[in-house]
Amino acid sequence: MRFGACVCAALMLAFVSAVRATDQSVPVMAAKGTVQVAFPPWDDAESLLLETLRRAQREILVQAYLLTSRPIAASLIAAKQRGLEVSVLADAHQHADNPASLLVSLTEQGIPVWLETRYRHAHNKIMVIDDGTQEVVVVTGSYNFTRSAQHMNAENLVLIRGNLALARRFRQNWERHRADARALKPAGAP
């Protein structure tokens, strides 16, 4: 009986060690900053996002499954016109299959857009705003940047402010995806 208990303890120790080794491959970051969560359709996530974009001061990185919200597109264009760096990644299939996609409009306003083609679905919905500053904001959640997300769907939008390590991790992921994406040319461009 004692031998069996030792074997069981050794197996448990091996299992815990294997789990710890696996966990180390994904960084753990300290919880810092503030978190704000909106749950459409009850909460006005779109207004929260628009106000956050309006306050941006340096840069906005967007990764979208689909972008059909005119107010969000207008806010990105306004940010570009204020002199901010604005860059967008989006799912190529959703863009091609959805006539309401506003990505071409963004390129026509000088915002670089890349289309992700490597995946069945490039399903990220994130923004990294003002990375490298104390005002950094990471926007994530199920919320697509569409009219439906605010008015017809049950969604969540999470804003994490002031966590530089988290923003750096999201930015690195954004850059990795951009490296695999192809640039969307403005309408009429060669």
Domain count, the chain: 1
- Which residues are CB-contacts of 136 (< 8 A; sequence separation ≥ 6)? 128, 129, 130, 161, 162, 163, 164, 167
In a domain, 190, yes or no: no
In a domain, 14, yes or no: no
Give the full edge-to-edge strand order of the sheet including 59-64: 34-38, 157-161, 137-141, 126-129, 59-64, 85-91, 113-116, 182-183
Pairing mode, if any, of strands 85-91 and 59-64? parallel
In a domain, 31, yes or no: yes
Average of per-residue pLDDT across 165-173:
96
In a domain, 13, yes or no: no
Q: What band does 22 get if pLDDT is binned at 50, 70 and 90?
A: low
In a domain, 122, yes or no: yes
The CATH number of residue 178's host domain is 3.30.870.10
pTM listed for this prediction: 0.84
In a domain, 16, yes or no: no
pLDDT at 104 over 50: yes
**70-78 contact pairs (CB < 8 A, 24+):** 70/102, 70/147, 71/46, 72/46, 72/145, 73/102, 73/105, 73/106, 75/49, 75/50, 76/106, 76/111, 77/105, 77/106, 77/109, 77/111, 78/53, 78/54
Q: Which residue range forms the structural domain that includes residue 157? A: 27-183
In a domain, 7, yes or no: no
In a domain, 88, yes or no: yes
Give the pLDDT confidence of 36-45 residue by residue, as tens digits: 999 999 999 9
